């Protein structure tokens, strides 16, 4: 039996199994087609960027940013990075997005200061995305720069430093709006800063007051919300700022709720015992939308490649159960240099899509009915039995329909790309 016939036969059986639970697999696959995962460009070159000739962003500027590993094949140019992204996208079913940092501009080999960057420096990225049929997301780069050397940017006590970073933030919003307009789909522009203290501060209020004022200045210009979505991202602490982070989760939750901004929840930016899945319905009652940066915090914000673990499945279930797919953007956020970087994108994105598919295939209506009727025994029993449903056969069918390898077959293609392309980078 051919692989295609095996997949088709497995899917017919799975469809019957799910039908017995009141779940339509075709409807689930249709909805999964509309789910896009944003791939972090920084996974391809270890957060180096291309501000200077030869690539490499130099000192990453603290804040917990540290790519670990020396696996061969790191992208050394925009061309190599785009080639690697294309290789990954060919192995991920569906149409997806690429998330860019400002330091990945195309400056033609001539240095451009961050407060002077414009859409013209990302024109080649827009053209590339149009050719690939992908969307783009964007991030100002508030690290790896002399003006961030003291560990503070938008909350710096020096008004001149704040002015520089406000100008950078404004420029990035315009770039994101141009990306969204040219590609015909909204670009999320996500603001994260590394500001904080290594040791205990006396004044915790001052930096946060300055940060709120600076953010208001960044967002002062009215831009078309059809093309740019503003998001803010908090963090628990970082390497070098272990004792105090100005932009904490509580700060940005309050800011997003009062300013009507999207909130970004990064799964690595909380205490290890906190579950981001539990925050989704709480947050979306007060902010217009949610950006989820998905990482795997083995030891806090360690940025391991996303896998199909319990928390990822729980996050997907909360998004689907709450009817939030239209108000949530899903993005990967890690940079693992210890394994094949292209494979890292593929593993993470396929893991997210599998989690969403599992959630779409859940017999939620039956579970909710039991809950309404107070049948908590039945609810728990059904949740456990549902774990044995053949969602894997439905996943294989989705891959077949989207023209990408099912099962482990994608790994062969990734390894072939490594031999033919990555291994030649020395």
Q: How would you label 172-189 residue by residue, b for 16+ Cβ within 10 Å and e otherwise?
A: bbbbbbbbbbbbebbbbb
Q: 101 catalytic, yes or no?
A: no
Identify whether 271 is a catalytic site residue.
Answer: no
CA distances from 21 to 16, 295, 382, 389 (A): 9, 32, 10, 10
The active-site residue, picked from 293, 318, 397, 410, is: 293
Q: Which regions of 234-336 does DSSP assign to beta strands (E)? A: 244-245, 262-266, 290-294, 328-332
* Angle between helices 341-360 and 78-89 in degrees, nearest 10: 40
- Rounded to whole angstroms, the Cα distance separating 266 from 249 reads 10
Q: What CA–CA distances, in Å, run from 104 to 11, 286, 378? A: 42, 33, 52
| Phi, psi of 349, deg, nearest 5 | -65, -45
Q: Residues 333, 362, 397, 418: which is the catalytic one?
A: 333
Here the tokens at position 308 are: 């199909």
**Sign of the four-CA dihedral 316, 319, 325, 327:** negative
Q: Is 216 noted as a catalytic residue in this protein?
A: no
The alpha carbon of residue 375 and the mean position of all alpha carbons in its chain are separated, in whole angstroms, by: 37
State the DSSP string of 135-183: EEEEE---SSSGGGTTS-STT-S-HHHHHHHHHHHHHHHHHHHHHHHHH
Q: Catalytic residue at 266? A: yes
Cβ pair 356, 32 in contact under 8 A = yes
Contact (Cβ atoms closer than 8 angstroms) between residue 392 and residue 350: no
Active-site annotation holds for 233: yes
**Catalytic annotation on 293?**
yes
Residue 45: active-site member: no
**Which one of 303, 336, 396, 418 is the catalytic residue?**
303
Give me the catalytic one of 145, 249, 261, 269: 269
Exactly one of 84, 230, 266, 358 is catalytic; name it.
266
- Residue written as token pair 């990075």: 81
| Active-site residue (options: 42, 128, 165, 192) | 192
Among residues 233, 358, 397, 418, which one is catalytic? 233
192 is catalytic: yes
State the catalytic residues: 192, 233, 235, 266, 269, 293, 301, 303, 333
């Amino acid at each position: 039996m051919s692989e295609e016939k095996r997949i088709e036969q497995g899917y017919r059986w799975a469809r019957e199994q799910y039908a017995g639970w009141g779940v339509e697999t075709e409807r689930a696959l249709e909805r999964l087609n509309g789910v896009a995962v944003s791939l972090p460009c920084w996974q391809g070159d270890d957060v180096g960027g291309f501000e200077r000739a030869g690539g490499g962003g130099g000192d990453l500027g603290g804040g917990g940013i540290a790519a670990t590993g020396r696996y061969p094949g790191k992208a050394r140019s925009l061309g190599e990075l785009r080639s690697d992204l294309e290789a990954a996208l060919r192995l991920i079913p569906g149409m997806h997005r690429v998330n860019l940092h400002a330091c990945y501009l195309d400056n033609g080999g001539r240095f451009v200061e961050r407060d002077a960057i414009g859409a013209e420096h990302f024109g080649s990225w827009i053209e590339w995305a149009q050719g690939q049929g992908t969307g783009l997301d964007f991030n100002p780069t508030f690290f790896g720069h002399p003006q961030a050397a003291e560990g503070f940017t938008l909350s710096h006590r020096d008004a001149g430093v704040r002015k520089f970073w406000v100008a950078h933030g404004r420029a990035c919003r315009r770039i994101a709006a141009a990306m969204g307009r040219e590609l015909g789909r909204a670009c999320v522009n996500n603001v994260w800063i590394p500001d904080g203290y290594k040791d205990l501060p006396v004044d915790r209020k001052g930096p946060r007051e300055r940060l709120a004022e600076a953010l208001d200045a960044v967002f002062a210009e009215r831009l078309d919300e059809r093309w740019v979505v503003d998001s803010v991202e908090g963090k628990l602490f970082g390497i070098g700022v272990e004792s105090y982070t100005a932009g904490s989760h509580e700060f940005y939750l309050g800011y997003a709720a009062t300013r009507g901004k999207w909130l970004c929840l990064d799964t690595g930016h909380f205490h290890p015992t906190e579950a981001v899945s539990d925050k989704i319905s709480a947050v979306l009652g007060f902010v217009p939308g949610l950006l989820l940066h998905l990482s795997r915090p083995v030891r806090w914000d360690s940025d391991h490649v996303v896998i199909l673990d319990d928390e990822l499945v729980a996050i997907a279930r909360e998004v689907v159960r709450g009817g939030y797919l239209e108000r949530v953007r899903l993005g990967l956020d890690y940079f693992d240099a210890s394994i094949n970087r292209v494979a890292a994108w593929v593993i993470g994105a396929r893991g997210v899509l599998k989690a969403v598919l599992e959630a779409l295939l859940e017999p939620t209506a039956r579970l909710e009915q039991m809950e309404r009727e107070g049948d908590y025994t039945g609810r728990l029993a059904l949740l456990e039995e549902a774990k044995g449903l053949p969602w894997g056969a439905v996943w294989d069918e989705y891959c077949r329909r989207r023209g990408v390898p099912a099962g482990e077959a994608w790994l062969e293609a990734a390894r072939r790309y490594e031999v033919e392309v990555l291994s030649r980078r020395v």
